[in-house]
Chains A and B, each alone.
Chain A
Amino acid sequence: MPSELKIVNGRVYDPANDIDGTVKDLCVKDGKIVDSVSKSASRINAHGMVVMPGAIDIHCHIAGPKVNLGRKLMPEDHRLDVHPKTAVTRSGTGGIIPSTFATGYRYATMGYTTAMEAAVPPITARHVLEELDDTPVVDKGFYVLLGNNAFLYKLLKEGRKKEFKEAIAWWVNSVHAYTVKLVNTGSDELWKGRKNANITDVNERIDHYDITPSFVTESFIEAAHELGLPHPPHIHCNNLGHSGNISTTLDTMKAAQGRRAHMAHIQFHSFGGEMNKNPVSGAREIIDYINDHENITTDVGQVMFGKAMAMTADAPLAWMLRNVKIDKWVNADTECESGCGVLPFSYQESIYTHTLQWAMGLELFLMSKDPWRVLLSTDHPNGGSFMNYPKLIRLLMDSAYRREALQHINQKAVAKTVLPELEREYTLNEIAIITRAGPARALGLKNKGHLGVGADADITIYTEDEDREQMFNAPRYVIKDGTIVIKDHEFATDHKGKLLHSKPGYNEDIATEIEPFFEDYYSVKFSNYAISEDYLHEHEEVPTNPKS
């Protein structure tokens, strides 16, 4: 494979460098964007095509034990969507939870070159690393679940914030995570210890620990800030899916006290109305707050009609959904660290709540004032497969298409939203922001999401098409690390992406604090828990920016 490449005559969308549809050439050498290349460089004539950085999924569930449980759970779904091998790529199965190979290839076929697995219990991180290594093409990282960690709770209960911060850093380093993830903070203890109960308020005391979810969240945000993690705590708020959860969501955002925080799949946390009654849209209140607070980034977690799968560390939520329709249900408790629920789901146009959620997601997008901070996701597979992204992009770019879609859905729900009044259409530049430049900035990935000199040569080239779904569904070329992986819509070669992780600095003495806890309450030895760096395959450390 030649290491030099020149892409000429393409219309380039590179919002991070203020390039909005300018026709210009791009030079690639040794996997990076460079100023110029030699004459012998191979060329792609991108005349009439749209060139963007490779897209980045800031929040998805693609690897690890819960994903694999979801995979194992659905042979009937795989059967209907096989992923045949080609001369250069491995085979697999698709459906709502594709096999690892199919996941990587399918992301690539949509122009995605980076994807972040959003919830990993640390004890299972080896599993995640192995699966990610088998997820081709894309670069990837993961967020480690620490928001219900028994040892960290113990430190907080004892008021030892310094050790708390050190321990977080130890954990991130030990498992090679990208940042920390908080899910329904405080709920695990109630779920496992109080016969499947759940936290209902951010100011409720968590059993045995005498701390509140709000305090835990605030402490994490503070610690992450001091450690200078490239991406702030990635937060799945309490009360997901419950009517009236906007107050919880607003309280959680306020707990950030102006520090950076990422609110995951915000659509699921934007329900107005009263608890245990039919929800209404609370999108306006939520997006107003986000618009006004630059410290907050979010991904929407759009729901798309059709097949989905609830896959979450929020076990009480999965239990709630299980009781709506009794079907296959998976619950998996992870000692001292996490809960987990997995079950098949489907969003239907005729159902009030499903339609409301669909509309709320679009409201959030369309009322967002800063595309850099309100990013595209479906919380794959929770709101629907990542394979829906092109369709979602069309919904954002094409108001006529949106109006048409509005005709066929539950009108009572539509009436509870302002969606029919929203005429906004996203531009290609804005799409490039919510799928590329924005996620890169939120993640602190300096070399991604843009096409400036020095950036990773992750590039997507689309044939212009009025039908934006078509266009984003099948890029003509996908270039990863300077290698043309997809050429004329076909795989030209296989490619392994790398792991992105951060290594916050910390005082190693904290290990002596953690070890006794392990001896008492874990089922694996402390010395066998941390993952040595030689376990990693291709990987890249993304620098931190410590504050102290």
Chain B
Amino acid sequence: MPEAAKPKESKNIRIVKDATCTFCGCVCDDMELTVDLDAHRITKAKRACVLGRAWFYEHTLEDRPVVLIDGKEATLDEGLDEAARILVDAKFPITYGLSDCPCEAQRVAVDIMDTINGNIDTTTSVCHGPSGMAFQGVGESTATLGEIKNRADLVIYWGGNPAESHPRHFTRYAVTPKGMFIPNGKKDRTVVLVDVRKTPSTPVADIFMRVKPGKDFELLWALRALVKGKKISENIEEQTGVSREVLDDLVERMKNCQYGVLFMGMGLTMTRGRHFNSGAIYSLASDLNEFTHFVAKPVRGHGNVTGADNVVSWQTGYPFGVNFNRGYPRFNPGEFTTSDVLARGEADAAMIVASDPASNFPKKAIEHLEKIPVISMDVKETHTTRLSRVRFAVATYGINTGGTVYRMDDVPISLRPAFDSPFPTDQEVLEGIRQRVKKMLSGSKARVAA
């Protein structure tokens, strides 16, 4: 567990109240940060969870060059020029990442790709992209987290481990807090957890359902059928690992609760079934509205991945995986999503913003990334920055920079930076690239629709 560095004797201390932690999609905005302005670090993060503390304490100012081109230190201008040149020269340039930077930067990134007729995708595609696709198919009944705090008396987590991935999800939003119609907090709620294994989240549950690995869809589908009063096959326990009695009990609870919520984790989106697993959750929640009030929510990972979805959607009409090759946005997951365009060897240049595909993408995609010119922006060194032709060291959003982020429930929140950074922000770097790209493609060179 990370510990705050012992505060040195410093008089130059600043307290930032109601600061926002952007480490995960919970985007808790009740942090009280103690900042040592001399040491350029946060020494205390009151109310932060263990992940949040690590986030605040570990993001100090590192001694890194702002720009490296082919591993050699360069000026910011040189870096921006080279980045713009790479992008303009490419026939299938891609941008990826964007979930750990504010919306203001995301908006610029989309503009750059619109200008050069490139391809833009966010980490959504390997997170809850499948849930986004499911949404496009069936819609969603959902709510802001405050509504869940105020009203939800049945809380179901499916395929997630918030205790480790989103520690304050339980305490700040959905399990323990008291709300308007939940005066006694957890006592007024029934918590159900569905997972393939016991995790540190399990103890919070009143009911734990262990589903056989890869059988979530079957189980959800059986629940849908039962909710609708339809028959299901006799061998349901054999198929899914959950007995008929347990299912019937859950169905009764779901139909009779006052306000129910289904939270889904990446245990659903990353496994066999992907978008259909999410779709099953959405449909189940919608079905239940025939009987009571029911909502569903993906538990999103990164601090502003939800913002990325929103920005890309309002600018292009599609939430992720958007291609501008023809001078207008097109969408097709599997065709224009980053993992695919890399693994198929299609992209011929890449700009990676605040993300590390070189460490978490499939091997084949990483191999292609190693072959093409890559521009990267990150606060830390990563496998991706290492293989980049042009790398920018940038300031940390929420710690050094302001801006807007969206919590996992689409609630926008403004950031309160704690201390200044000598590094440029993502937005500044992207602005610089945008200006150069627009200049290079101005007038008769403008890329228009084809």
Contact = CB atoms under 8 A, between A and B. Distances in A.
A and B touch in the complex (CB under 8 A): yes
Interface of A: 63, 65, 67-68, 71-76, 78-79, 82-87, 90-93, 95, 97-102, 123-124, 126-127, 130-131, 134, 150, 191-193, 195-196, 319, 327-336, 342-343, 520-525, 527-528, 531-532, 535
A97 B318 CA distance: 11
Given A336-B146, A528-B18, A100 B328 contact: no
Contact of A535 (B18, B111, B414, B449): B414
Please name the 5 residue pairs, one residue from A and one from B, whose CB atoms are nearest each other, closest first: A335-B146, A84-B449, A523-B146, A93-B317, A333-B143
B448 A86 contact: yes
Candidate in B103, B140, B178, B449 with the most chain A CB atoms within 10 angstroms: B140
B171 to A, nearest CB: 12
B376 interface: no
A372 B317 CA distance: 36
**Which of under 10, 10 to 19, 20 to 34, or 35 or more describes the interface residues of B?**
35 or more
B167 interface: no
Given A79-B331, A84-B448, A521-B179, A193 B316 contact: no
B315 A523 contact: no
21 contacts: A72-B309, A78-B318, A78-B331, A82-B328, A91-B324, A92-B328, A127-B410, A130-B311, A192-B147, A195-B292, A331-B142, A333-B142, A333-B144, A335-B150, A336-B147, A342-B139, A521-B149, A523-B146, A524-B411, A524-B413, A528-B20
A90 B149 CA distance: 41
Contacts of B137: 328
A486 to B, nearest CB: 17
A74 B286 CA distance: 18
Given A84-B328, A193-B181, A99 B316 contact: yes
A87 B114 CA distance: 11
B139 A335 contact: no
Contacts of A95: 317
Interface string B1-21: 000000000000000011010
B372 to A, nearest CB: 25
Nearest to A531: B414
Contacts of A74: 136, 317
A91 B412 CA distance: 25
A127 B406 contact: yes
B329 A92 contact: yes
A332 B317 contact: no
B114 A91 contact: yes
Contact of B141 (A97, A330, A527, A532): A330
Contact of A68 (B178, B180, B313): B313
Nearest to A64: B314
B397 interface: no
B413 A130 contact: no
Contacts of A100: 314-315
Nearest to A335: B146
B150 A72 contact: no
Contacts of A525: 18, 29-30
Contacts of B315: 90, 92, 99-101, 134
Contact of B414 (A82, A329, A334, A528): A528
A521 B414 contact: no
A179 B154 CA distance: 37
Contacts of B448: 84-87
B447 to A, nearest CB: 8
A92 B317 contact: yes
A329 B286 contact: yes
Given A99-B313, A127-B406, A528-B29, 16 more contacts: A65-B310, A76-B136, A78-B318, A79-B330, A82-B330, A92-B316, A93-B318, A192-B293, A330-B140, A331-B140, A331-B141, A332-B140, A523-B146, A525-B30, A528-B18, A535-B414
Contacts of B412: 124, 126-127, 130
A523 B318 contact: no
A183 to B, nearest CB: 17
A68 B414 CA distance: 19
A155 B149 CA distance: 22
Nearest to B447: A85
Contacts of B291: 195
Interface of B: 17-18, 20, 29-30, 103, 107, 111, 114, 132, 135-147, 149-151, 172-173, 178-181, 258-259, 286, 289, 291-293, 295, 309-311, 313-319, 324, 326-331, 404, 406, 410-414, 416, 443, 446, 448-449
Contact of A71 (B17, B29, B30, B313): B313
Q: By DSSP majority rule, is chain B's interface helix, strand, loop, or mixed?
A: mixed
Nearest to A76: B136
Nearest to B259: A192
A328 B295 CA distance: 15
Given A78-B317, A99-B316, A193-B259, A72 B181 contact: no
A75 B316 CA distance: 10
Contacts of B146: 335-336, 521-524
A71 B172 CA distance: 30
Contact of A523 (B181, B286, B331, B411): B411
B85 to A, nearest CB: 21
A218 B410 CA distance: 32
Nearest to A127: B412
A520 B178 CA distance: 8
A411 B321 CA distance: 47
Contact of A192 (B140, B151, B313): B151
B292 A196 contact: yes
Given A65-B410, A75-B318, A99-B315, A523 B446 contact: no
A85 B142 contact: no
A522 to B, nearest CB: 5
B314 A134 contact: yes
Contacts of A67: 314
Contacts of B141: 329-332
A527 B144 contact: no
A134 B410 CA distance: 18
Contacts of A97: 317
Contacts of A72: 132, 135-136, 309, 313, 318-319
A93 B139 contact: no
B410 A99 contact: no
A335 B292 contact: no
A150 B180 contact: yes
Contacts of A531: 414
B104 to A, nearest CB: 8
A110 to B, nearest CB: 20
Nearest to A100: B314
Contacts of A193: 151, 181, 258-259, 293
A303 B30 CA distance: 46
Contacts of A335: 143-147, 149-150
B289 A93 contact: no
Nearest to A95: B317
Nearest to A88: B446
Residue from B289, B293, B404, B416 with most neighbouring chain A CB atoms (10 Å): B293
A99 B180 contact: no
Given A521-B146, A523-B172, A71 B414 contact: no
A297 to B, nearest CB: 30
A319 B17 contact: no
Contact of A195 (B142, B147, B293): B293
Contact of A527 (B18, B147, B310, B446): B18
B259 to A, nearest CB: 7
Contacts of A327: 139
Nearest to B178: A520
Given A193-B259, A331-B141, A75 B414 contact: no
Nearest to A329: B139
A95 B136 CA distance: 15
B328 A196 contact: no
Given A328-B137, A528-B18, A91 B314 contact: no
A126 B147 contact: no
Nearest to B31: A525
A87 B446 contact: yes
Contacts of B414: 126, 528, 531-532, 535
